[in-house]
Amino acid sequence: MRWFLCLLACDNCCVRTWAKMVMGIANGQDYRLVSTFCFTFPDPVPGMPVTNGHIHSQTIVSSSGHKFLVVNRTEVERGIPCEDLVRRAKVIEPLTERSKEVIAYDLTLNVEASMNRQNVAAVIARCGQTVSAEYIVEFTNPGGWTEQQFACADQGLFQSYLWLALVICCCAPVFYFAFRVLQRRQAHNDVSAIFFASAAFFATRVVFFLIHLLVYARNGMGLGMLLFLAQFLDFISTTLAAVVLMALVHGVYVTRPAIPVGSEERDTLIRVMGGFTVTYLISTLACGFRLDSDLTPFGLLRGMASTPYLLVRFATGVFCFKKGMSLASDGIGDALQAEKKHLVTRFSFLSMVWLGSMPVIMVMSNEDTWRDNMIWMEWISIGSYGTLLYFLWPSRFGTTFSCIKPTERAHPYAEFGLSD
């Protein structure tokens, strides 16, 4: 046998899938897809032996007629009948029951370099009868520990997030310095406090995902709970950042102290942010509880669960842009000063770029390129946080936020004990 790809089919029973390891119980129709994988091979070096990829499969069947099939992924996606799938299979491994006892199979198979960067699928078939099997399958690429466990689309993901984490670690002292200075001066307002909380959650999420990738590179499984936590932290940080941008384009603390309570403008803002929060929470939970989800720190799936959020996110970006540009051109009450107009205009463009970029990237990407393109989303987020920090820097804070709430703490005569 020249090469082999994977093992077993799956079902809606107990199934877990990672890029390298697949385990679960298959019960269902006459054939089931176990998983897809794309092996990568390093460029051949003259004089050096060519190494193979490997698949180690352990299978338990309690009935006859099962077959392991290795086929092109497109054949499975087309949904062709079981008999046609068997005829077109590149590899067929019969699992024949020779007695009434349960039969266990332990196979270690090679994948040759001729399969480099080809998308193949492992299927278990039992044409004419329902599938019934249990399995554990491991996929291993040739190469170093940073390549062995990752499929084609995931190659380089660990290295990219390592660089992202290094950049964040270098920037963290700058953010902390600005936070502490504003805190000592008692200058923080609601918007600045939410911003620094969002930045902290964002940095923590990147570090958590990097740790997950580090463990994943070693065992092909990673830390599922840490991955879900990273995705949930992204939900929190993204929602908080959206609140900050929404407040800025409405001129909160920039051109006015607050949005009037009970106003139509405030009700619209609450509805927009409510839709944004609810749709992303649903998407995050759907992604977190899907055991065979992609390697992504975002709570996003390429499916219906995330479509409402992507639409709402893009619409929120358009809403923020139009609101900010309207405020900059018309003002509220008296005409805005020129510098305030420029501030609100910049916040409008920043909101459109940050909120609108992810849906656009998602639409322009496919299943194989999405995890490469999502790195651009990370850099856009880092740039957005850096831009906001520029306007919230202690030396510019008073210029940006010149309209504060007249609270007792900030009353101009509070230090003399006067409140009226």
What domains does the chain contain, in order, with CATH numbers?
A: 15-140 (2.60.120), 156-414 (1.20.1070)
Higher pLDDT: 1 or 44? It is 44
Q: Is pLDDT at 334 greater than 80 in this prediction?
A: no
Exposure string for 54-87, b = 16+ CB within 10 A, e = fewer: bbebbbbbeeebbbbbbbbbebbeeeeebeebbe
Q: Is pLDDT at 17 greater than 90 in this prediction?
A: no
Q: What is the pLDDT of residues 378-419, one digit of tens each?
A: 999 999 999 999 999 999 888 888 877 665 444 444 444 444
Burial of 158 (0-12, 13-18, 19+ CB in 10 A): buried
Alpha helix stretches (DSSP H) within 220-337:
224-249, 264-288, 307-330
**Could you count the other beta carbons within 10 Å of the beta carbon of residue 212?**
24
Please give the average per-residue pLDDT across 326-354, as a whole number. Answer: 80
* Amino acid letter, 402: S
Angle at 206 between CA 203 and CA 207, to 5 degrees: 90
Task: Output the pLDDT for position 278.
Answer: 95
CA 144 to chain centre: 25
**Could you count the other beta carbons within 10 Å of the beta carbon of residue 136?**
17
Please give the average per-residue pLDDT across 241-264, as a whole number. Answer: 88
Q: What is the pLDDT of residues 126-153, one digit of tens each?
A: 787 787 777 676 777 776 777 666 766 7
Q: Residue 353: which pLDDT band, with cuts at 50, 70 and 90?
A: very high
Task: Output the pLDDT for position 178.
Answer: 95
Q: What is the pLDDT of residues 224-243, one digit of tens each?
A: 788 899 999 999 999 999 99
Burial of 124 (0-12, 13-18, 19+ CB in 10 A): buried
CA torsion 363-197-263-255 (nearest 10°) is -100
* 90-94, 159-163, 411-415: the lowest-pLDDT one: 411-415
Q: Is pLDDT at 100 greater than 60 in this prediction?
A: no
Q: Is pLDDT at 292 greater than 70 in this prediction?
A: no
* 16-25, 84-93, 318-327, 346-355: the lowest-pLDDT one: 16-25
CA 251 to chain centre: 31
Q: Is pLDDT at 6 greater than 50 in this prediction?
A: no
Q: What is the mean pLDDT of the chain?
A: 78
Q: What is the pLDDT of residues 200-225, one digit of tens each?
A: 999 999 999 999 888 887 776 778 78
Task: Output the pLDDT for position 93.
Answer: 75
Highest mean pLDDT among 114-128, 236-250, 366-380: 236-250
Task: Output the pLDDT for position 158.
Answer: 85
Query: Helices 224-249 & 190-219, crossing angle to 10 degrees?
Result: 150
* 5-19, 63-77, 202-216, 287-301: the lowest-pLDDT one: 5-19
Task: Output the pLDDT for position 321.
Answer: 93
The structure's pTM equals: 0.76
Q: What is the pLDDT of residues 302-315, one digit of tens each?
A: 778 889 999 999 99
